[in-house]
Chains A and B, each alone.
Chain A
């Protein structure tokens, strides 16, 4: 089982997810967040928090987003932990509308 952040987070970075993470496993760069699979306990708390449905877990990860499993695993450990709510990116609102959420 793995829980990952995928491309919908790009240009959004709402960070609602991190407020309910019980183990502080979210890391971030300037563009988006990533989950450290070594720390995540697969509790699913973050999945419904994302306003743009960027977080997917286990069997529900769509095939076209499977590359993100490796991207999360590689990038997360090298980036700072994000453990509190931050302002979304200025492009977030437009991007959310574009994604239809």
Chain B
């Protein structure tokens, strides 16, 4: 048998998931100088993960990362299997039979819970649901959000929370030329929300917004940002954090909050940032009516400060609440999973068994590897590390017989009567979405139902 990674015996890798980390893993493999074949498996009919269904519709520039993924997808070494759910349509064991290595890049698909009473009341949602809904993700397309009450609450102060606040704060005019899904635009156009509260359990110096996202709240068409100046009095530990040369983002954020606090509101809507408060329970008869908040204080050394409840309670009447306190990975059947942290246990991307030993041929990258932190580009470094581990294992991955890769998987797909969408199929859907968008002055109008997509592909 020829050496693995040569043209006679190419390295066959299955990548599960088609978001940024999947594409950066594919890129690193293709650019490795070895002969490789990459099969990418995606449970939806469309690729690109959170760049398509997470990045906010009013941030079109970030979505240009797709141009890079498109180039990778057109490489001759690459094949795309959309609408194929690994663990359901095709089992992990079957991927192992056809590929030398399986690399999971399936992200963190669920939200962390607050763990308080009333969390499941009608009107209490996750940020993921709203984000998926306005971005036309088929899983969330039919969610119903009641925006008939004037007050909306968002728990969390990171960039996902910022997206949720901003989309609720913008007017239909500000959104109608983005790729926001039609069903969401129609609902948001009728929204009665006038007050949006973004609530963080720690202080303004610890808010996780990027300065760029925070600044946008000062530039909205019909919404003023609001901060109570008293809330910007910092404890000495937070002042020490801001004085650190390597903590420029927080210093800038506090400066932006101070600017917000000086403004006199004149617009129809307000987005109010509140700090040092945590939800203790949600209340209401049959549906959410109010959130009960406890005042926090910070405890600990600079950069290690955590929020502790003070016992001081307040209530905030509201009609809808979104929790945005982080994502969590979901287990894939047959693969090791660390339930507590919502990741696959791994060492530099090599997946580990419960006894800490390396599972041969199994790798992970992106959020399922390191948890839901960082932004699009962070996943590139992460995937490069995993592919480095994989290539270092080449001798161990070599098998007596060549792996059949794409051909083997195609046979399974045919046998089972599955409808896989290949990359050419996606390009057809992509062109049709752009065409639908043109009529409305939008960059695209996404398909939000699988049957529409499959019908178009015939």
Contact = CB atoms under 8 A, between A and B. Distances in A.
B381 A22 contact: no
Contacts, number: 58
Interface string B367-387: 000000011111111001000
A96 interface: no
B210 A44 contact: yes
B249 A20 contact: no
A20 B215 contact: no
A19 B210 CA distance: 20
A45 interface: yes
Contacts of B380: 19-22
Contacts of B384: 19, 84
B245 A101 contact: yes
Interface residues of A, number: 22
B303 to A, nearest CB: 14
A23 to B, nearest CB: 5
A79 interface: no
Nearest to A84: B384
A41 B64 CA distance: 7
B375 A44 contact: yes
B64 A19 contact: no
A13 to B, nearest CB: 18
B67 interface: yes
Contacts of B210: 44
B211 interface: yes
B400 interface: no
Nearest to A21: B377
B212 A44 contact: yes
Contacts of A8: none
Given A21-B377, A23-B68, A45-B374, 20 more contacts: A19-B381, A20-B377, A20-B381, A22-B20, A22-B65, A22-B376, A22-B379, A23-B64, A41-B61, A41-B62, A41-B65, A42-B61, A42-B62, A42-B212, A43-B375, A44-B210, A48-B249, A58-B212, A59-B215, A101-B245
